[in-house]
Amino acid sequence: MASLDDPGEVREGFLCPLCLKDLQSFYHLQSHYEEEHSGEDGDVKGQIKSAVRSHLSDFKKHRAARIDHYVVEVNKLIIRLEKLTAFDRTNTESAKIRAIEKSVVPWVNDQDVPFCPDCGNKFSIRNRRHHCRLCGSIMCKKCMELISLPLANKLTSASKDSLSPHTSPSQSPNSVHGSRRASISSVSSVSSVLDEKDDDRIRCCTHCKDTLLKREQQIDEKEHTPDIVKLYEKLRLCMEKVDQKAPEYIRMAASLNAGETTYSLEHASDLRVEVQKVYELIDALSKKILTLDLKQDPPPHPNTLRLQRMIRYSATLFVQEKLLGLMSLPTKEQFEELKEKRKQEVERKKILERRATLESQQRLEERRSDLVSHATNGEVVSLRGGPAPLRKAEGWLPLSGGQGQIEDSDPLLQQIHNITSFIRQAKAAGRMDEVRTLQENLRQLQDEYDQQQTEKAIELSRRQAEEEDLQREQLQMLREREREREREQFQAASLHMRTRSLDFREIRPFQLEPGREPRNHLAHALDLGCSPAPSSAAPKTPSPSLALEPIRVWSGPPALGQEFFPQSTTSQHNEVPSLNPFDEEDLSSPAAEGTASPPAAEPSLGPPACVLKEYNPFEEEEEEEAVAGNPFTSPDSPAPSPFDEEDGHPHQRPSGPPVPGNPFEEAPCTNPFEVDSESGQEGEEPIEEELLLQQIDNIKAYIFDAKQCGRLDEVEVLTENLRELKHTLAKQKGGAD
C-alpha cells in the first residue's frame, strides 16, 4: 500500500489524467472521466490552458536599457564616495581635503551659476555657493545635503561586497572600514566643532543624496527579514507537515477502523499525537503573528494588522477544516473486534477463491479419473487438500445472506451476486475501503465472466484434444473397470464437449497469452468446475442454468477431495509420465490463490494483537486531549484578545486562552471532570472508556468550532452532550475503581 505513494514510482494502467486513479480498463476510465470530470470542461488539463500573452521579454529589454543608465549613475557616485572616504579626513588639512575632493570630480565654476539651481535664490556673500562633492554641481546652503561617514561606509562596503562576492570570508574591505570608522568617531568629537572641515560628513546635492538613499534602502531590505516573515515561514512549514502527515494518518485510521492490520494502532496514535502537536503549533504561531507589534507605540499600519488578522484567520480555517477531518482511532477492544470481522471477511473471500480452486481441482480430478489419472500430481492434490478442513470450520453459507435463494446458473454469476451482497453489507457497515476492495473483485469477476464464454470454449477444445490423445496412449487395463464407471457418468458431457471443441480449435493459441494467464486460469478453473454438474443432468451448454447445481457443487468439494486422495496416490504409484498440460497450471494454482487472497498477511494478525495488550501511549494521548479540549468548554474564559471588538469577522475571534504560548496549558483547573479522566487512565478500564474519552475530545473540538462560528444553540446542545458523556465516564470510573 505504501508503495503507491513512493514519489519516484512509475505507474501504468488506465490512469485518469486528472486524478491519477487507476481505472483498470478503458471503459471504466471513460465512464469515470465522464462522471467525475465532466464539469471541468471537456478537455484534458494540458489542453485547456487559456490564451495568454507575455510582454516580459519586451519589458525586460526596455528595462535593461534604463537600468544600465541608472546603475552606471549609482556606481559612479559610489566610486566617488569611496575615494572621498578613502583617506583619513580628520588628520588631513582642509586645503588638502579640498584638493582631493576636487580631484574626484571637477567642480563647476562659481561664475557659471549665479542662482541656486534647486531653489532659485541668488548667490551672494551671505548666501554662499556650495559644491556637491559627488557631482561637482553648485547649490545653496539650504539645498545642501550631507552624507555621514557611517552611511558612506555602509554604501561603499555593501557595493564592494556585492561587486566582489568572491572575496575571502575574512571580508578585508569591511574590516578596514570598520577600523577606520572607529578611529574617526573617537577623534572627530573634538575636532568637528572647530571649523567647517567636514571631517565626518560629505557635502552633496539633493539629487545625489536621493540616489544614494534609494541605494541604502535596497541594501537594508536585502538584509532585513521582519519578524512576521520568520514566524510565517515557520507556520507554513507546520502546515506543510500537516498536509503531508494528515493524509497518512487518515489512511492509517481508515485502515485500522476497517480492521486491517497493515498499520499498527500504536503507530497510528503516535502519528495522531504528532499531528495534533503540529496543530497546536500552528495555532500558537498564528496567534503570535496576530499579536505581533501590537503593543508598539506608533501602532502598526492598519494594513499590517489586517495582514496579521488574515494570516490568523486562514490558519484557523486550516485547523478547523483539517482537525475535523481527523477521524478517531478505534480503541483496543474495538480494534480487536474489527480485526475479527475483517478476518472473517478475508476468510470469506479466501473461501471464495479456494472454492474456485477446488472447483478447478475437482474438474481436474474428474478428468483424471476419467482418464485414469496418469499425472504425477499427487503433491498438488495434497497441497490443495489443506484448505478443506478449514472450510468445515467456517461454513460460508450463512455469511452471504442471499445464498439460499440464489438462482444463478453459473458459479461466476453467483460469486458476482455474492460479492454484490457483500458490498451492500459493507456499505451498510460504512467500511468504504472494503467496499472498494470488493468492488474491485466484483469488477474482475465481471470481466472474467465476460471472458468466460470464449475461454470456456477454448479450454474445452483443448481439453478435448488432450483427452483423445491421452486416452489413446494410456489405456491401462488395471483401471479399466473404474474408468468404465466414470465414463458412464461423463460420457454425456464429453460427447457434448467433443462436438463443441472442433469449432474452437483455432482459438487455442490465445490460451497461452502470458499476460492473461493467471486470470484465465481462474476463469477456466471455474468454468470447468461447473462442467461435471451438467453431466449428471443432461448434456448442456457450458453455462448451464440449473437452479440446483450450485448447491451441489459447493457441498461437493470436500467429499470429492477425500475421494480423490486415494486416486491420486494410485496415480503416483503408476508413475505415468505426465503428458498432462494441466500439471503446470495445477502447481501454479495454489500460488495464484496465495497472491489473490491475503493469507500471507495472516501470520501478522497475531503479533499486533499481543502488542496491543500492553499498549498504552494511546491513553496518554486521550488524557492530553482532554486537557487540551478544556479551554473550549469554558465559555467565559477571559477575553482572549484585544481584537475581539475590532474585527467584524466572527471566525477570527481567538478562541483559546490569552496565554499566547501554548493555548492548552492554562485550562486544567476549569474542568471539574478533569481529575476523573486522568485517574481513569490507570488499570483495567471498562470497554468504552477510550471511546468515551475520544468522543469527549471530539465534542470539545466541535464546541470550539461552533463557538467560533457563533452558533450558540449548538454550543449548548454540545455542552449538554459533553456533560452527559463526562457523567457516564465518571460513573463508569466509579464502578471500576
Partner 1 sequence: MNVVFAVKQYISKMIEDSGPGMKVLLMDKETTGIVSMVYTQSEILQKEVYLFERIDSQNREIMKHLKAICFLRPTKENVNYLIQELRRPKYSIYFIYFSNVISKSDVKSLAEADEQEVVAEVQEFYGDYIAVNPHLFSLNILGCCQGRNWDPVQLSRATQGLTALLLSLKKCPMIRYQLSSEAAKRLAECVKQVITKEYELFEFRRTEVPPLLLILDRCDDAITPLLNQWTYQAMVHELLGINNNRIDLSRVPGISKDLREVVLSAENDEFYANNMYLNFAEIGSNIKNLMEDFQKKKPKEQQKLESIADMKAFVENYPQFKKMSGTVSKHVTVVGELSRLVSERNLLEVSEVEQELACQNDHSSALQNVKRLLQSPKVTEFDAARLVMLYALHYERHSSNSLPGLMMDLRNKGVSEKYRKLVSTVVEYGGKRVRGSDLFSPKDAVAITKQFLKGLKGVENVYTQHQPFLHETLDHLIKGKLKENLYPYLGPSTLRDRPQDIIVFIIGGATYEEALTVYNLNRTTPGVRIVLGGTTVHNTKSQECGVLGFSGGAVVKNPPANAGDTGSSPGPGRSHMLRNS
Query: Interface residues with partner 1 (CB under 8 A)?
Result: 40-41, 48, 50-56, 58-63, 66-67, 70, 214, 218, 221, 225-226, 228-229, 232, 236, 301-304, 306-307, 310-311, 313-314, 317-318, 324-325, 650, 688, 691-692, 695, 698-699, 702, 705-706, 709-711, 714, 717, 720-721, 724-725
Residue whose CB is less far from partner 1, 226 or 607: 226
The residues, any chain, with a CB within 8 Å of residue 733's CB and separated by 6 or more, are: 676, 679, 680, 689
CA distance 547 to 363: 20
Residue carrying the nine cell digits 460513573? 731
Nearest CA-CA partner of 124 in 114, 133, 112, 136: 114
Q: Output 56 or 669, the one with its CB closest to partner 1.
A: 56
If the CB atoms of residues 54 and 164 are measured against partner 1, the closer one turns out to be 54
For the bound state, the minimum distance from the C-beta of residue 142 to partner 1, rounded and expressed in Å, comes to 25
Pairing of strands 145-148, 130-131: unpaired
Residue 584 near residue 517 (C-beta atoms within 8 A) = no
Beta strands 130-131; 138-139: pairing state: antiparallel
Kindly state the smallest distance separating residue 711's Cβ from partner 1, in Å.
Answer: 7
Closest distance between partner 1 and the C-beta of residue 708, in Å?
Answer: 11
Alpha carbon 87 to its chain centroid, in Å, reads 63
Buried b (16+ CB within 10 A) or exposed e, 524-534: bbbbbbbbbbb
Q: Which is nearer to partner 1, 237 or 406 (CB)?
A: 237
Compare residues 323 and 416 and give the one whose CB is closer to partner 1. Answer: 323
Give every CB contact of residue 107 below 8 A, 6+ residues apart in sequence: 131, 136, 138
Check: CB of residue 219 under 8 Å from CB of residue 155.
Answer: yes
Query: Residue 613: helix, strand or coil by DSSP?
Result: helix
Residue 717 CB, shortest distance to partner 1, in Å, is 5
Nearer to partner 1, 28 or 37 (CB): 37
Q: Which is nearer to partner 1, 42 or 606 (CB)?
A: 42
Q: With respect to partner 1, which residue has the nearer C-beta, 250 or 310? A: 310
Closest approach of partner 1 to the CB of residue 293, in Å: 12
Instruction: State whether the Cα torsion 415-417-418-420 is positive or negative.
Output: positive
Nearest distance from residue 701's CB to partner 1, in Å?
9
CA-to-CA distance for 734 and 241, rounded, in angstroms? 41
Tracing cell 448442456 back to the chain, one arrives at 540
Choice between 36 and 88, CB closer to partner 1: 36
Please identify, using beta-carbon distances, which residue of 232 and 582 lies nearer to partner 1.
232
| Apex 270 CA angle, 269 and 273, nearest 5 | 85
Q: How far apart are CA 283 and CA 663, in angstroms?
A: 8
Cβ proximity of 252 and 263 under 8 Å: yes
Helices (H), 164-226: 172-191, 206-223
Closest distance of CB 572 from partner 1, Å: 57
CB of 84 vs partner 1, minimal distance in Å: 25
CB of 313 to partner 1, least distance (A): 7
Task: Please choose, from the candidates 693, 595, 3, 598, the residue with its C-alpha nearest in 3D space to the C-alpha of residue 260.
Answer: 598
CB of 656 to partner 1, least distance (A): 20
Please say which residue, 41 or 584, places its beta carbon nearer to partner 1: 41
435 neighbors 427 (Cβ within 8 angstroms): yes
Cα–Cα distance measured from residue 326 to residue 700, given in angstroms and rounded to the nearest whole number: 14
CA pair distance 373, 572, nearest whole angstrom: 9
Q: How far is the CB of 310 from partner 1 (least distance, A)?
A: 4
Task: Identify the CA nearest to 216 among candidates 165, 143, 148, 169.
Answer: 148
Q: What are phi and psi of 684, to 5 degrees?
A: -75, 130
How is residue 201 annotated by DSSP? E
Cβ-proximal residues to 470 (8 Å cutoff; 6+ apart), any chain:
371, 374, 579, 580
CB of 255 vs partner 1, minimal distance in Å: 17
Residue (276 or 403) nearer to partner 1, CB: 276
d(CA 631, CA 665): 9
Rg, C-alpha atoms of the chain:
43
CA angle 25–29–32, rounded 5-degree value: 140
Kindly tell me which of 61 and 142 has the beta carbon lying closer to partner 1: 61
Q: Rank residues 106 and 298 by Cβ distance to partner 1 and give the closer one.
A: 298
Please name the amino acid found at residue 10.
V
**Residue 624 CB, nearest distance to partner 1 (Å)?**
19
Of 41 and 407, which CB lies nearer to partner 1 in the complex structure?
41
- Helical spans, DSSP H, in 224-331: 227-257, 265-290, 302-324
